[in-house]
Amino acid sequence: MRKAFISPTKYVQGENEILNLGYFVQSFGTSALLIGHPDDVNRVKDKLDATAEKFGITFVESGFKGECSRQEVARLQAIAEEKGCHCTIGLGGGKAIDAAKCVAQGEALIIVPTIAATDAPTSHSAVLYTPEGAFDDYAYFKQSPSVVLVDTTVIANAPTRFLVSGMGDALSTYFEARATAASYSRVNASLPMGSREGLTAPAVGTNAALALAKLCYETLLKDGAKAKAASDSNMVTQAFENIIETNILLSGLGFESGGLGAAHAIHDGLTILEGTHHFFHGEKVAFGTIAQLVLENAPTEELHEVLDFCLEVGLPVCLADIGVDSITREELLQVAEKACIPEESIHSMPFPITVDEVAGAIIAADRIASEYKARREAK
């Protein structure tokens, strides 16, 4: 059996860690193309100036326009070539990070997330959009980032909603990896890095990936609420540090090397409903996780444990919580159909999938969660 595991070369996390960014740039050369939204760059400008002076390196600011499009990637690559940059830095949230991945093409890449809202920083994939912001395509590179550098002081000063959304994304990691392992499905670590030619077979996940995914879930239950309290106070505590590691590293390695299942596919289906557009990725994935547990008829105790966690940290548990106050049968079937297209991860579940069953799981999950939430609030 062919197995695969993929990870960044280095993961470093700590308070004021951006002050050490120049050290890692120095391992590639003396200059780095800096890709980040101007607001994110300005938030850490003092640290960038300090590390550049200390380590004798130069940041070439790119004027990132905010969209990871083919045109923007080409513009950024031209700047990197013209200025002779030795490495690429993606600083900020998802689109700046994805743009940096596309510019670097798997070489000499440093990722510096300023929020912990998703598990994208460690992965070897990116999402491309049109200049207008519509989805274009997925991109995969030959390796994950060279360095992921996480400054917990910066993340502690970001809005708490980002951290909680990251917990929603991380919440799905174990349940999706568990399902993928049970079905021996191909995992993201074996997706094409160039041509598929020459590969004998797609790879399945490793025991290590499943163990990390399980630790991801266990740490959420143990430290999630305490980390949220620290974030509300803009403070770094041990629980907060643990959840940053959970949201970014454990979830990142768990999803990419452990696989995705129904939760993310249901998230993708939900995006056709306009009411969901104002909610973050992880917030919708949290509901997708509850729907996956209903779809696979998970034990009631496990479902209640997940619901208790979501309600404790403030994650959505029902459709109304993600902006869907009502849904017609036609809309429900459209959501389920999108979740079930052939290339979706829902087909990694260890049993056959039908559109009607997915639609039923979504409605049942909504009702179960709504009633559970009402009973808790009534106590």
Instruction: Specify whether 278 is catalytic.
Output: no
> What pTM, to 2 d.p., does this model score?
0.94
Burial of 370 (0-12, 13-18, 19+ CB in 10 A): middle
* pLDDT for res 195: 41
* Candidate list 98, 151, 223, 267, residue with the active-site label: 267
Q: Give the pair of three-digit tokens for residue 54.
A: 């200390």
Q: Which residues of the chain have pLDDT under 70?
A: 188-201
Please report the sign of the dihedral spanned by the C-alpha atoms of residue 59, residue 60, residue 66, residue 71: negative
| SS3 annotation, the chain | CCECCCCCCEEEEECCHHHHHHHHHHCCCCEEEEEECHHHHHHCHHHHHHHHHHHCCEEEECCCCCCCEHHHHHHHHHHHHHHCCCEEEEEECHHHHHHHHHHHCCCCEEEEECCCCCCHHHCCEEEEECCCCCEEEEEECCCCCCEEEEEHHHHHCCCHHHHHHHHHHHHHHHHHHHHHHHHCCCCHHHCCCCCCCCCCCCCECCHHHHHHHHHHHHHHHHHHHHHHHHHHCCCCCHHHHHHHHHHHHHHHHHHHHHCCCHHHHHHHHHCCCHHHHHCCHHHHHHHHHHHHHHHCCCCHHHHHHHHHHHHHHCCCCCHHHHCCCCCCHHHHHHHHHHHCCCCCHHHHCCCCCCHHHHHHHHHHHHHHHHHHHHHHHHC
Instruction: Specify whether 124 is catalytic.
Output: no
- The whole-angstrom separation of Cα 81 and Cα 146 is 19
* pLDDT for res 200: 52
Instruction: Specify whether 37 is catalytic.
Output: no
* pLDDT for res 191: 53
CA atoms within 13 A on the CB side of 47: 19
Torsion of CA 283, 286, 291, 295, to 10 degrees: 140
- The whole-angstrom separation of Cα 140 and Cα 142 is 7
Tell whether domain 10-156 is in CATH 3.40.50.1970. Answer: yes
* Candidate list 40, 151, 264, 366, residue with the active-site label: 264
Instruction: Specify whether 267 is catalytic.
Output: yes
Taking a C-beta distance cutoff of 8 angstroms, is the pair 60, 31 a contact?
Answer: yes
The domain locations on the chain are 10-156, 161-378
Tell whether domain 161-378 is in CATH 3.30.70.2190. Answer: no
* pLDDT for res 193: 40
